[in-house]
Amino acid sequence: MPTDGDSSRLADATATFLEDREDGERALEAVLTVDTEHDTWTFDDIDLDSGTFGELVSSGIVEKVDGAYRVADPEAVDAVIAGEEVQTDSRSVPADRDFDLERFRTIDPRAAIALVGALIAVAGARMTAFRSVFQQGYVVSPANDPYYFRYWMEELLGRSSGPTDFGVLTDPSGAVFGTRPFAHATNWFLAELLGGGHGAAETVAAWLPIVASVALGLAIYKLTVLLTRDVRVGIASVLAFAVTPINAVYTGLGFIDHQLHQYFWLGVTLLTLTWLAVDLQRRLERGSDDQVAVRGHLQDPVTWVVAAAFGFSVAAGIHAWGGSPLLLVPLAGYVALRVAMDARAGVSPTRANLPLLVGLAVGSALSLALHHRWGWHAEFVATTPALVLSGAIAVVALGELWRRLEGHLGGLLAIEGLVAAGGLLAFRRLQPEDWAEAMARVDALFFREGATETASLFATEYAVFFGPMYQLGMGFYLALVVLGWVAWTVARRYEPGWLLVGTYTGYLLVLAGVQVRFAGQLAIPLAVLTGLGLVQLLAVVELARTPVPFRDSDSASSRTTRDRDSVATDGGRALEPPISVPDGRKVGYVLGIGLLVFGLSLIYVPGLTADVTHDEAQVGAASAIDDHAEAANQTYPENFVLSEWGDNRMYNYLVNGESQGYGYAQSNYGEFQSGSDPDSWYDQFDGRVGYVVVTDIDGETPDESAQAQLLEERGTGGDDEDGLAHYQAILVSDDAAAFAVVPGATLEMSGEPGANVTVGTDVSVSGESIAYERTASVGDNGQATVTVPYAGEYTAGDRTVTVTEADVLNGSSVGLEE
């Protein structure tokens, strides 16, 4: 039964429908006639085109019930047609209860199934490396950096007594929570909820990226539907997000890094800001007085719940990673442009943006509280939300003044730019130390070399054009076209929701052009544009109905910005057009276009993921080292593993758990690998390195290099050279070889002065037989010594000696028997 508010709302919607359509009365009479004949009915029962019928549903005049339709309030519609006052019943069911029940009854099962399928695609695209992650009894995270987060998660678990022991989150020194505190805290808390310990840490490391991605997919769906009022676009956007290569890689199975946290909270920020923008816009579009619409927006309790959620997302995002202030720049830009849009539309910028300012104040307070109470993040980072809030208040005040003076918008935008510049100059002058730290952080973020992610999205290596396709998929170019439409739309109409998406997309596109790492964030708003572009593409070739936003655009010129005929008067809940299944031949065309847009991504996602996973040879090397270190009773740093820096954290996490950094490997491995005398490094290692792993590399390597001596010759020296004295092979394969760095046993033997004595033994490593030999010259005293890294029986002519593993590990001297 409709409530008083529903009847009034439906009356407004009906009146708007009649005003905007010449055939409006005929259409309403048609649905009223069939409604009197049947309790519920279908589209086939009436003589209306799908576009008109879709408008009736999206406006709330017709509602969907159990897969069929009925007029929501026939009496109200009759009254409006007759020009009579709509009667209300004070004994109506409470609005909140009626709304909830109706919402439950009108869930479209096809849309729900499609959404579940799209979310499964999100999870599936991030699980292509399942066998690489779960192998040989380990949870092997891809890449290098996840082991930094796994290290701190287990460190915090070891220090805490349970999920309520928040004392472990206090870090005055900044060693743990200096740059990514919220990411570490979340990882630790979830692991504690799962029982704590190594097993819980492994579960969080493996599955949190998947869970966070699915949750983000839900946020993208809701965000898209709020903007477009079209569930098809929502589903398409989730699918676009699912197969975006760079995002799928950074949030793949086991990839526990700061990305999953920053992506999720960015999605929450966009969703909450979209809700605030769209809710006000819908109220204005219903044709009510501006002040009444804004008052209703401000008096709705949900508005303040969403504003609080927005504030929490700001605080969480600012403490999630080191470069978090960068994601407040588009927020500041959005506020500046939003104020100008409000002033242009004659809406009070102060009242329209009050929930946003309150939410930003909540975020600023939380950010500063976490910094001052627990020592989270640098002060300049924790203060950034407050700086943005200060600028936003100034800009809103300017916008309010400008609206009342009816000044030119160009002047307002120019003054807003001056406010931003003045704020930065004041910060630099008043906080020189924080400014210097911020510039150092910027330098480290944008000018660091050597990592793949520091290249540009439009790198010439991929001929500029193919870089975005490789990282973001073919949908990127479809989204660019829609981004152009967004720019055109916000320049002409009051569309704060699209302004938000356009601002973030444009800004992140510029950042990704500088460094491709930001393409992961770009993928979130870009998914909305890609989804809308895909449905419109299907509509152009007559495989789908035109999406609601483009139907609005087509007829906008004949209507005011407040009274568009396809507005969903319930705030976007009556979603039309619904999902429908095309006939057999059209299904093939739809799948073909889908493959055209997403097909390359289906290839790139597994390929890019495989590039960052660790293969069986590498994990086997770590396992062999772990076994050897345990047998030798070695602990850190005696069992430190030296390797290529990009894999170093993985080896050390699996062997000794110490994966906090890779600085030593980054500084020394390259020189060691290219050098010609690995034994000379033994003294330099000086107990700092216990094991060395070399892996196959692209290109030719010099025969005399350590790379060739260890991986190709297994440390035996080949045909012409002696074997190495301090490198004991414990795993060998074509792709990787692991060696224990040992003191070696010193063999002592006698002989004719000046003669050469050769000792040798055969050892079996990884099922491969290795012939190891070393030659020494007999000195003037008739004695010769030679150091060997293997246990076993050595022969020198007719003499033999048995060397034990203890001799090798302790550097013992052993004499050859005559």
Does a structural domain hold residue 469? no
| 275/411 same-domain check | yes
> CA angle at residue 292 from 290 to 295, to 5 degrees?
105
pLDDT in tens, 629-641: 999 999 999 999 9
SS3 content of the chain, % helix, strand, coil (to 5): 60, 10, 30
Please name which of 324, 326, 319 lies closest in space to residue 370, comparing C-alpha atoms.
319
Contact 731, 624 (CB under 8 A): yes
Other C-beta atoms closer than 10 Å to the C-beta of 799 total: 17
Does a structural domain hold residue 239? no
Number of helices and strands in the chain (H, E): 33, 15
Would you state the structure tokens that stand for residue 718, as one six-digit string?
Answer: 């080949």
DSSP type of residue 93: P
Per-residue pLDDT band at 111 (split at 50, 70, 90) = confident
Among 73-77, 270-274, 384-388, the minimum mean pLDDT is found in: 73-77
Per-residue pLDDT band at 740 (split at 50, 70, 90) = very high
Per-residue pLDDT band at 18 (split at 50, 70, 90) = confident
Q: Which domain holds residue 656?
A: 615-715
Per-residue pLDDT band at 192 (split at 50, 70, 90) = very high
Output 289 or 382, whichever has higher pLDDT.
Answer: 382
Helical H segments across 178-257, by residue range: 181-193, 197-228, 231-242, 245-250
Residue 98 pLDDT:
39
Q: Where are the beta strands (DSSP E) in 8-76?
A: 62-65, 68-71
pLDDT in tens, 703-722: 899 999 999 999 998 777 88
Residue 101 pLDDT:
41
| 682/748 same-domain check | no
Rounded CA-CA distance 416/340 in Å is 10
| 679/756 same-domain check | no
Please name which of 282, 284, 300, 303 lies closest in space to residue 292, comparing C-alpha atoms.
284
Rounded CA-CA distance 340/413 in Å is 7
Residues 6+ apart with CB under 8 A from 26: none
Mean pLDDT of 461-475: 84
Residue 654 pLDDT:
97
Considering the chain, what is the average pLDDT of its residues? 87
| 311/354 same-domain check | yes
Give me the residue label for tokens 């299907």: 538
Per-residue pLDDT band at 558 (split at 50, 70, 90) = very low
Q: Is the pLDDT of residue 581 over 80?
A: no
Edge to edge, the sheet with strand 792-796 lists: 768-777, 756-765, 792-796, 799-803
Mean pLDDT of 222-235: 93
- The DSSP element (H or E) to which 630 belongs, if any, is helix 616-631
Does a structural domain hold residue 662? yes
Output 172 or 651, whichever has higher pLDDT.
Answer: 651
Per-residue pLDDT band at 450 (split at 50, 70, 90) = low
Among 47-51, 631-635, 644-648, 798-802, the minimum mean pLDDT is found in: 47-51
Per-residue pLDDT band at 582 (split at 50, 70, 90) = low
Residues 6+ apart with CB under 8 A from 534: 236, 240, 475, 478, 593, 594, 597
Task: Work out the burial of residue 21: count CB atoms within 10 Å of its CB; fewer than 13 is exposed, 13-18 middle, 19 or more buried.
Answer: middle
Tell me the one-letter amino acid at 396: V
pLDDT in tens, 31-42: 888 887 777 888
Contact 286, 567 (CB under 8 A): yes
Would you state the structure tokens that stand for residue 219, as one six-digit string?
Answer: 């946020």
Please name which of 805, 788, 789, 806 lies closest in space to residue 748, comparing C-alpha atoms.
788
pLDDT in tens, 646-676: 999 999 999 999 999 999 999 999 999 999 9
Q: Buried b / exposed e across 777-790, counting CB within 10 Å, b at 16+?
A: ebeeeeebebbbbb
How many CA atoms does the CB half-sphere of 709 hold within 13 Å? Answer: 26
Output 445 or 743, whichever has higher pLDDT.
Answer: 743
| 172 three-class SS | coil
Given 107, 126, 156, the domain boundary residue is 107
Mean pLDDT of 373-397: 92
Rounded CA-CA distance 190/182 in Å is 12
Does a structural domain hold residue 593? no
Residue 765 pLDDT:
95
| 398/285 same-domain check | yes
Q: Buried b / exposed e across 363-383, counting CB within 10 Å, b at 16+?
A: bbebbbebbeebbbbbebbbb
| 319/412 same-domain check | yes
Output 262 or 13, whichever has higher pLDDT.
Answer: 262
Among 233-237, 551-555, 724-728, 784-788, the minimum mean pLDDT is found in: 551-555
Q: Is the pLDDT of residue 89 over 50?
A: no
Contact 508, 521 (CB under 8 A): yes
Mean pLDDT of 344-359: 96
Mean pLDDT of 510-536: 95
| 270/419 same-domain check | yes
Given 107, 134, 162, the domain boundary residue is 107
Other C-beta atoms closer than 10 Å to the C-beta of 304 total: 15
| 312/431 same-domain check | yes
Per-residue pLDDT band at 572 (split at 50, 70, 90) = very low
Residue 732 pLDDT:
96
| 272/376 same-domain check | yes
| 343/262 same-domain check | yes
| 631/760 same-domain check | no
Residue 84 pLDDT:
61
Q: Is the pLDDT of residue 530 over 50?
A: yes
Residue 531 pLDDT:
96
Strands 727-732 and 783-788: unpaired
Mean pLDDT of 804-813: 94
Residue 99 pLDDT:
40
Mean pLDDT of 414-433: 76
Contact 500, 270 (CB under 8 A): yes
Given 384, 413, 447, the domain boundary residue is 447
Instruction: Report the share of the chain in percent with pLDDT over 90.
Output: 62
Among 223-237, 543-557, 615-629, the minimum mean pLDDT is found in: 543-557
Phi, psi of 351 (to 5 degrees): -75, -35
| 138 three-class SS | strand
| 667/791 same-domain check | no
DSSP type of residue 708: I
Residue 258 pLDDT:
95
Would you state the structure tokens that stand for residue 692, as one six-digit string?
Answer: 């060395």
Among 560-564, 650-654, 674-678, 685-689, the minimum mean pLDDT is found in: 560-564
Residues 6+ apart with CB under 8 A from 544: 232, 535, 538, 590
For the chain, what is the domain count?
4
Among 54-68, 344-358, 770-784, the minimum mean pLDDT is found in: 54-68
Does a structural domain hold residue 85? yes
Q: Is the pLDDT of residue 2 over 70?
A: no
Q: Is the pLDDT of residue 568 over 80?
A: no
Does a structural domain hold residue 249? no
pLDDT in tens, 388-416: 999 999 999 999 888 887 777 777 778 87
What pTM does this model have?
Answer: 0.84
| 63 three-class SS | strand
Mean pLDDT of 128-142: 97
Would you state the structure tokens that stand for residue 165, as one six-digit string?
Answer: 């022991």
Would you state the structure tokens that stand for residue 787, as one six-digit string?
Answer: 């150091």
Does a structural domain hold residue 511? no
Does a structural domain hold residue 289? yes
CATH number at residue 794: 2.60.40.3390
Per-residue pLDDT band at 171 (split at 50, 70, 90) = confident
**Furthest-apart CA atoms within the chain: distance in Å:** 125
